[in-house]
């Protein structure tokens, strides 16, 4: 099992932690050292043996400050973890050290008109439960891992999800109001970041600060109606999704389009509603908009396969919510049926995203059954692609990525564990500068920010960055 990291004195670190809860059972530590990296056969090969030495579970911001100060003192790598629902190894401790597990910091501290303040470890569904009960409000955005993901993990490692078709992504101004961050210094500072300063730590994988508390905008909560619509061909389904996303008055929280035969083959609980040759739009519609939606669907000749508001209890029995067919859950359902598949993440940029959708579909056919997520992106309707890839070799996967990019669809490569390779393929100067200030020893989530680890790295080289400090524990 995991060998002690020779670079630091584990026993002295533990002694310094005092009463803060820790766990060193190697099996339990390894469980908490993993996320959903195994979606990727590439990351699975690279990271399967990664583990920390210790899990540290603070119960308060004061304990976070004490734990971070101790880590700084002893030079212990520190990888912050929420619920471990990321797909890119975001929360995996490449250099060992300690997992800073925030799962016990779950308080919903304040709810007001349009906002909630919660500790980073609060589960997203639990926040919504509290805000719905308080004042009929809910979070604007959530990942498909709504029922398990933490709000801090979503902000540190996510980008958007359900709700992005109305509100855009987490990167958009206004979708995070404030993040409270503990720096990794001799005397850790506690900073409240707002406005443009949010970009220092949002989607930074915890590489430059420990998010302990967030303030998020809320919107009106509704009993969203789950709808599945069937189409004879995928491009028609994509056109429908786009047209619906452009209906500004028709409130939808989720518009996904999944090409046949994925819906039938992988949405096992909904399989009874879906023919194998049907591409499917997976939707969440506001209940008071369902009349207008039905009229719209009829005009667009969409076949309504399933509506949660009219389905019988018998039909609904055992069905997961529609959002658990979307975003990364589409892939998850695929992996459960066929562990050999994997996926990609791309953007079809506006305004000719539908043309690109048709072009890409023509190139790959069933090797890459497409899955689209319609979103607002810089004020336009556009779509992300999260296609299923029938995986053969890593070389072919690279070819597929190159073909997407050659056709104007940038790939956010989910087969890389670094911020830059999974994102914009360039240094984020703001995040790097903040890391210099907030993590001078480079202890926070080592190996994830190339700009820090290897300032000379050439992003145009098409070489994969491999973190030299990746400690594969025995």
- Other beta carbons less than 10 A from residue 25's beta carbon: 10
Judge whether 27 and 380 are in contact, CB under 8 Å: no
Q: Does the protein bind a second copy through residue 136 (CB under 8 A)?
A: yes
Q: Does the protein bind a second copy through residue 167 (CB under 8 A)?
A: yes
Q: Does the protein bind a second copy through residue 34 (CB under 8 A)?
A: no
Of 268 and 295, CB closest to a second copy: 295
Q: What is the DSSP letter of 319?
A: P
> Contacts with a second copy in 368-427 (CB under 8 A)?
376, 378-381
Q: Does the protein bind a second copy through residue 5 (CB under 8 A)?
A: no
Choose the binding region for a second copy from 63-71, 112-120, 266-274, 307-315 (rule: CB under 8 A): 112-120
Choose the binding region for a second copy from 293-301, 318-326, 390-398, 448-456 (rule: CB under 8 A): 293-301
Question: Comparing C-alpha atoms, which of 148, 152, 97 is closest to residue 119?
Answer: 152
Q: Which residue of 19, 223, 393, 462 would you call a contact of a second copy, by CB under 8 A?
A: 223
Give 426's contacts (C-beta < 8 A, 6+ positions apart). 420, 459
Q: Does the protein bind a second copy through residue 250 (CB under 8 A)?
A: yes
Judge whether 390 and 341 are in contact, CB under 8 Å: yes
Choose the binding region for a second copy from 14-22, 288-296, 305-313, 355-363 (rule: CB under 8 A): 288-296
Q: How many CA atoms lie within 13 A of 97 on its CB side?
A: 31
Q: Does the protein bind a second copy through residue 313 (CB under 8 A)?
A: no
Identify the residue whose tokens are 């404030």: 178
Of 216 and 332, CB closest to a second copy: 216
Q: Does the protein bind a second copy through residue 222 (CB under 8 A)?
A: yes
Q: Does the protein bind a second copy through residue 168 (CB under 8 A)?
A: yes
Q: Does the protein bind a second copy through residue 462 (CB under 8 A)?
A: no
Q: Does the protein bind a second copy through residue 300 (CB under 8 A)?
A: no
Min dist CB 175 to a second copy, Å, is: 4
Nearest-angstrom CA–CA distance, 419 and 446: 11
Nearest-angstrom CA–CA distance, 67 and 62: 9
Question: Comparing C-alpha atoms, which of 306, 320, 319, 309 is closest to residue 148?
Answer: 320
Give 393's contacts (C-beta < 8 A, 6+ positions apart). none
Stated as kind and residue range, the H or E segment containing 213 is strand 210-220
Q: Does the protein bind a second copy through residue 220 (CB under 8 A)?
A: yes
Nearest-angstrom CA–CA distance, 430 and 160: 20
Q: Does the protein bind a second copy through residue 113 (CB under 8 A)?
A: yes
Q: Does the protein bind a second copy through residue 429 (CB under 8 A)?
A: no
Question: Comparing C-alpha atoms, which of 320, 314, 313, 232 is closest to residue 270?
Answer: 320
Min dist CB 473 to a second copy, Å, is: 41
Identify the residue whose tokens are 């443009």: 196
Q: Which residues bind a second copy (CB under 8 A)?
A: 112-115, 135-137, 140, 166-169, 172-175, 177-178, 194-196, 217-220, 222-223, 245-251, 286-289, 291-296, 299, 351, 376, 378-381
């Amino acid at each position: 099992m995991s060998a002690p990291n020779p670079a630091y004195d584990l026993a002295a670190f533990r002694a310094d932690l005092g009463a803060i809860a820790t766990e060193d059972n190697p099996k339990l530590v390894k469980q908490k050292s993993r996320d959903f990296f195994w979606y990727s056969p590439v990351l699975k090969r690279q990271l399967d043996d990664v583990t920390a030495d210790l899990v540290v579970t603070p119960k308060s911001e004061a304990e976070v400050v004490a734990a971070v100060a101790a880590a700084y003192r002893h030079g212990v790598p520190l990888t912050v973890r929420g619920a471990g629902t990321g797909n890119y190894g975001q929360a995996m401790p490449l250099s060992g050290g300690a997992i800073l597990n925030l799962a016990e910091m779950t308080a919903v501290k304040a709810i007001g008109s349009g906002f909630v303040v919660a500790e980073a470890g609060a589960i997203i569904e639990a926040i919504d439960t509290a805000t719905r009960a308080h004042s009929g409000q809910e979070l604007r955005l959530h990942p498909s891992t709504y029922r398990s993901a933490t709000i801090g993990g979503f902000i540190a490692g996510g980008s958007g999800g359900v709700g992005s078709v109305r509100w855009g992504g987490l990167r958009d101004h206004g979708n995070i109001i404030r993040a409270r961050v503990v720096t990794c210094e001799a005397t850790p500072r506690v900073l409240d970041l707002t406005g443009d300063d949010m970009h220092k730590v949002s989607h930074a994988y915890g590489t430059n600060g420990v998010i302990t508390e967030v303030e998020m905008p809320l919107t009106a909560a509704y009993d969203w109606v789950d709808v599945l619509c069937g189409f004879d061909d995928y491009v028609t389904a994509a056109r429908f999704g786009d047209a619906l996303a452009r209906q500004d008055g028709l409130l939808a929280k989720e518009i996904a389009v999944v090409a046949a035969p994925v819906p039938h083959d992988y949405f096992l609980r909904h399989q009874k509603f879906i023919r194998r040759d049907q591409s499917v739009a997976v939707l969440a519609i506001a209940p008071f908009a369902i009349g207008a939606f039905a009229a719209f669907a009829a005009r667009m000749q969409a076949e309504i396969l399933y509506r949660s508001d009219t389905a019988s209890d018998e039909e609904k029995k055992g069905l997961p919510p529609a959002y658990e067919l979307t975003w990364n859950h589409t892939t998850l359902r695929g992996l459960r049926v066929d562990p050999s598949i994997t996926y990609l993440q791309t953007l079809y940029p506006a305004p000719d995203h539908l043309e690109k959708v048709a072009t890409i579909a023509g190139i790959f056919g069933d090797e890459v059954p497409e899955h689209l997520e319609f979103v607002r992106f810089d004020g336009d309707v556009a779509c992300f692609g999260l296609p299923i890839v029938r995986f053969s070799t890593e070389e072919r996967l690279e070819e597929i990525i190159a073909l997407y990019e050659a056709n104007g669809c940038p790939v956010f490569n989910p087969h890389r564990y670094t911020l830059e390779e999974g994102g914009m393929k360039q240094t984020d100067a703001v995040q790097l500068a903040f890391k210099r200030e907030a993590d001078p020893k480079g202890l926070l989530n080592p190996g994830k920010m190339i700009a820090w680890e290897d300032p000379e790295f050439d992003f145009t080289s098409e070489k994969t960055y491999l973190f030299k400090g990746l400690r594969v524990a025995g």
